[in-house]
Amino acid sequence: MDRISTERDIVALLGDWASGRGPLYRKLADALTRAVEDGLLLPDDRLPSERGLGEALQVSRATVVAAYQELRGAGLLSSRQGSGTRIASDVKVPRPTADGRVPGGTAMTIFQRLIDGPGELISVAVAAGGAAPELAVTLRELVRDDLDELLSGPGYHPSGLPELREAIADYLTRNGLPTAHDEVVVTTGAHQGLVLTTELYVSQGATVIVETPNWPGCLDVFRSAGARLVTVPLDEEGPEIHTLGTVLRERKPSLLYVMPTYHNPTGVLMSAARRRRIAELAAEHEVPVLEDNAYMTYHPESGVVPAPLAAYAPPGTEMLSLGSLAKAVWGGLRIGWVRGPAEIVQRLSRRKVLADIGSPVIDQALAARLMPRLDRILADRSKELGLQLDHMDALLRNRLPSWRWQRPDGGGALWVELPGVDAMAFAQVAVRHGVDVVPGAVMDPDGGHANHIRLPFTFSPEVLDELVHRLARAWSEIARHGPAPAVQVVV
């Protein structure tokens, strides 16, 4: 099969290839070599032209020519008249099980950052901070009071530690969604909840409706199951309701996936009226819904958060609610949950047994103690994040006044429009200034939002200062030499 790698494909594979020391052509050649060694580029794959790749990477054509020449000399590339530049047909590739990097998908380079470690880059791929102070206090309490009793049991709880299921049910009930413990399955993070739900509802060729933009990790889970993704744009209240009604009627999807509180990456909070209308449409068209409320981070003190979408569902609607402690407490506390009809929760539990038998018990016991305090933890973190948001907002207005964004309803990031510039191109310049940026096009299954980036503000003021300083330098460079010379930049 003749696989042709487009410029965007190569950019996604190379990640932060330009960081570090040394000439650009050598770093590009090294990055392409790693992609072949890792099995991401295969024998006979066609590469872009020197000019096309240079434009995509925001380097000169001469840089790509020099890199290609070095790889030809090493026997890694071959070039034939009329056939372009290809990976050599006799290059040895690793067995699939030996691939040391995160496989496939638009989220590949984002997750690879976690594997590779921080390095010299400021990475804005993940909006996460340190642990909430309550975590250390609660862990000491657990060790002091309950650890011996906890360790005396067998440690296997496929649906979740009973006291944690009760604590999650109580939390959801307090927040407007009456829930019993048998309507909750504990998962190893919200991501596992998404995977298990996808396994249950999505088969090869099935249609899944998603909002756009969206988080690449979620999109890749659906794609890995063979789903066809149909997008619905957002307005200030959530998914645009007329479009949603049309695709529900015409496409007969297997699943509707939405992020009501707060949407990632835009930070939009779905209104109560929009939640009610979406629940009614789902019931009318008999479409299962997965609402993802794992993005619990900043929310204004004056803001009123509606009850979960499932609280508005007519009787009989198949509505599942995904939650997590990762954003509210700590990303290293890999505890999430799915709330749904008891019979569906049973089916998810059977799938979870096949995946990992059960989530770590000590983590679950710690989470059970944290759940009654979660509202207070969220309030405290919101105050801190509000200050960080104010700081980021002021920095951008001062250093990058031509950028456009709206203050989010909540969450942990700004959704920023770069006027007149492709964010994929800007990301290539930014990485050479020490910032790892996620372009908006990878968050849109249709390839839209190409001039947007997601910019987390979940950093200390000192890191935010340096982050915006580096972004401003990158913006100044692309304004002078990049694809949009007419852009006016103030730095």
**Same structural domain for residues 342 and 251?**
yes
pLDDT tens digits, one per residue of 400-410: 999 999 999 99
292-304 burial, b if ≥16 CB within 10 A, otherwise e? bbbbbbbbeeeee
> For the segment 440-455, what is each residue's pLDDT rounded down to a tens digit?
999 999 989 999 999 9
Q: Which of 109-123, 130-144, 251-265 has the highest mean pLDDT?
A: 251-265
Q: Is residue 443 part of a domain?
A: yes
Considering the domain boundaries, does residue 328 fall inside one?
yes
pLDDT in tens, 181-232: 999 999 999 999 999 999 999 999 999 999 999 999 999 999 999 999 999 9
Q: Looking at 375, 396, 421, which one is the last position of a domain? A: 375
**369 and 405 belong to one structural domain:** no
Percentage of the chain surpassing pLDDT 90? 64
Does residue 343 belong to any structural domain of this protein? yes
255 bridge partner residues: 208
Token digits for 260?
């009501």
Specify if 336 maps to a domain. Answer: yes
More confident residue, 86 or 129: 86
Q: Is 109 helix (H, G, I), strand (E, B) or coil?
A: helix
Q: What is the pLDDT of residue 479?
A: 82
For residue range 329-373, list pLDDT tens digits in order: 998 999 999 999 999 999 999 999 999 999 999 999 999 999 999
Number of residues written out for the chain: 491
Show which of 360, 375, 390 is a domain's final residue: 375
Report the chain's mean pLDDT, rounded to a whole number.
88
pLDDT at 113 (0 to 100): 53
pTM score, two decimals? 0.83
Peptide bond into 445 cis (omega under 30): no
As a whole number, mean pLDDT of residues 101-105 equals: 47
Cα–Cα distances (Å) from 82 to 1, 79, 86, in that order, read 17, 9, 11
Same domain for 474 and 370: no
Rounded CA-CA distance 279/288 in Å is: 10
pLDDT of residue 4: 55
- Total number of domains constituting the chain: 3
- Residue 485 makes CB contacts below 8 A (sequence gap 6+) with 479
The answer to whether residues 73 and 144 belong to one domain is no
CA 318, 321, 325 angle in degrees (round to 5)?
165
Residues 349, 398 within the same domain:
no
Domain boundary among 375, 390, 416: 375
Q: Mean of the pLDDT values across residues 1-29? A: 77
Q: For residue 346, what are the domain limits? A: 133-375
